[in-house]
Amino acid sequence: MGAKREFIRLKLNVRVDWKKILETTDVVGKFPDTTRDISAGGLCLNMDEELLIGDRLQIKMELPSKKVINAQGRVVWVKEFGIDSRGEKKTYDTGIEFTAIRDEDREEINKFVTSSSPSKQK
């Protein structure tokens, strides 16, 4: 039986720019990917690159409300999602937990998710 989620999740496609943070605090590359879902505690990205559990990321995303969120996160799970239509390129669903995010930004995500949740809509 799975553990109960701490935060409400919303299926949402939002572009996320992310950079991998190395132990030396250098940042590697800058990559755009798209969320599968988001919550105040983290997000799931659909990515072309396979990251490792524990990898640290710098994240920047813009919510549909136009609010820009900057955070740091840690990869907590990775699942091979599929192969492209040509049978060449794999994609990965990657679960990222926020490890450093401003309280106002976490609250903005929570407010957006709860107000957009199907159970809240009439």
Q: If 0-12 CB within 10 Å is exposed, 13-18 middle and 19+ buried, where does residue 22 land?
A: exposed
The predicted model gives 42-70 an average pLDDT of 91
The predicted model gives 45-49 an average pLDDT of 86
Percentage of the chain exceeding pLDDT 90: 35
60-104 confidence digits (pLDDT tens) = 998 888 999 999 999 999 998 777 667 777 888 999 999 999 999
The predicted model gives 7-19 an average pLDDT of 76
pTM, whole model, 2 decimals? 0.77
Ramachandran region, residue 25 (left: φ > 0; alpha: ψ -120 to 50; beta: rest): left
For the chain, domains (ranges, CATH) are: 10-114 (2.40.10.220)
CB-CB contact of 12 with 35 (8 Å): yes
Instruction: Provide φ and ψ at 3, rounded to 5°.
Output: -75, 150
Q: Give the residue from 21, 45, 50, 19 showing the smallest Cα distance to 33.
A: 45
